[in-house]
Structure 1
């Protein structure tokens, strides 16, 4: 990466007070995150001439994630939903505008199921304040360990500072991992220019519906009019695995795992890095199929993918909800 591609005013190691006046905590993973961005250039997810601009975007969401991780000042009864809204208004009003657009689209929200907000090791995959904001706006209970899978997958993971065994969840958005598997250039799904027509979740859902549609009779279409929805390249479904199971309380579910590869890539070209896309969806008690998550996987991971065993279980943070 040429030295000239480095951001001139700030770097991914800088930490300054945000508009809220709160000092952001130091990032212990700054060097790891920098290397992740550089790897994205090496593997071709990010062009060298895009690095400086994308690094600024990355820095913004890295700092915002750290701010959410730090949380508000201690108080006897903190209103985390209000605090989260205030932070977004001050630090990232454009992101709040996208979130508000998505929250206003009930048909869009119904395309997604439920997912947990914690990892198996107990760490929060979605910041608690953000999870409470989602729950409050959706009219659901704020103290649950699961929530709306679409909001968790997009805004929640974008602002998730907690590392998992598979890396930081926000990398799928901040270093163009998902966009690259789909062949979408630029800062998708976060760059829509002034007066956006739809939110981040709508952008992601519209693309998923074009490459891995849900098996359900009702239709949802993107509300974008003035701004065209991003278009993915043609995709080839490499494998589709169904799974059926039943919870301890008798709730039956059917899951579907699909792994896709861009049609313009050969198997050899797709063998380096995470260039395949996994899409996981779920229906509960013979209800409508809903998306749970979508994320990049490697060819090596795909080679180890096995058929469902005799005791199938929910995967990828899926939840049956209430």
Structure 2
């Protein structure tokens, strides 16, 4: 795993004399230092436009590779962008903004994506952005402490790559091969879009052609993975009825778990299949502890005419912002 910019030499030298777990801590502290430095720079202006430039200047000084990686992925992995939905930049548990708005603006602009709230006009719609780049590069610079820790922990710790037996540094802020956005897109998407329907098949084809991703994730044997899927299906009335299928996949780590993966044992992948959209879309992916999936798939919460809502900061038009309580079917399948 690479550490960016001027912090590189300090943290690499420290790592030479530390055990592996201490090395992981040093790497996390590297990103924490960058995030806090950017946050401090933003305090000198309340203007989002000025803040974006302040963030850029600070990152060019501390972590130029970070900006270069976003720009490169925005170009090389352009087709993968359409396989991600939209996310709300607000943590319901902590009741706070996750990624500072100027930082998210910079990430989106550098990646060649629409700005926050594009095409939306309701209150707080400026919190809504491309889920893929917010949840990867945006989360790396989040200073929000949640009950589960920093959002970036999923990327600075090796839990996911160890769990799936991937080469060191594959799912990391600055991977040796591919990019953070592309690598997690292919890994999560290859599991979420395994269906045989037209939309899933088209999305899966895009993943297979993702040249910006590491060969390790592109050629992984996803057919050998097994897990559970919670499917929440609802139909929205209209001139053309619309069906939204919310999918939560729980995939046990096949290669390692326990202490080696920070106490986590599965990967959760949250995605959508919306009849109003051409492709299914990813929303989030993160490691979870034992027992989490059992609670989420409990039989007492399955059946027809049950309340359904979006989770994990997802924004789905007509669902997340519905003024009425929505109900539908909740079911679990095994793969």
Q: What is the SS of the residue equivalent to 1:119?
A: coil
Aligned to 1:146: 128
Partner residue of 1:200 out of 169, 180, 191: 180
Distance 2:152 2:289 in 1: 17
Distance 2:231 2:248 in 1: 6
Q: What is the SS of the residue equivalent to 2:161?
A: helix
List alignment gaps of at least 5 residues for structure 1: 1-8, 15-47
Question: Retained in 1: the 8 A contact 2:52–2:105?
Answer: yes
- Residues matched between the structures, number: 274
**How far is 1:52 from its partner?**
5.0
Aligned to 2:106: 133
Question: Retained in 2: the 8 A contact 1:214–1:290?
Answer: no
Aligned to 2:33: 63
TM-score by length of 2: 0.70
CA deviation vs aligned residue, 1:68-121 (integer Å, no higher than 9, x gap)? 333424336342333332222221111212111221232111111111111114
Distance 1:275 1:161 in 2: 26
Question: Retained in 2: the 8 A contact 1:236–1:260?
Answer: yes
| 1:108 equivalent in alignment to 2:80 | yes
Distance 1:187 1:72 in 2: 30
Assess, with a 3 A threshold, how the Cα gap between structure 1 residues 296 and 81 changes in structure 2: closer, same or farther: same
Distance 1:148 1:213 in 2: 19
Distance 1:286 1:98 in 2: 32
Partner residue of 1:176 out of 154, 158, 177: 158
TM-score by length of 1: 0.72
List alignment gaps of at least 5 residues for structure 2: 1-8, 118-124, 319-335
Aligned to 1:314: 310
* RMSD of aligned Cα (Å): 3.4
**How far is 1:53 from its partner?**
4.2
**How far is 1:152 from its partner?**
1.4
Name the one with the larger helix percent. 2
Assess, with a 3 A threshold, how the Cα gap between structure 1 residues 272 and 112 changes in structure 2: closer, same or farther: closer
Question: Retained in 2: the 8 A contact 1:271–1:298?
Answer: no
| 1:290 equivalent in alignment to 2:281 | yes
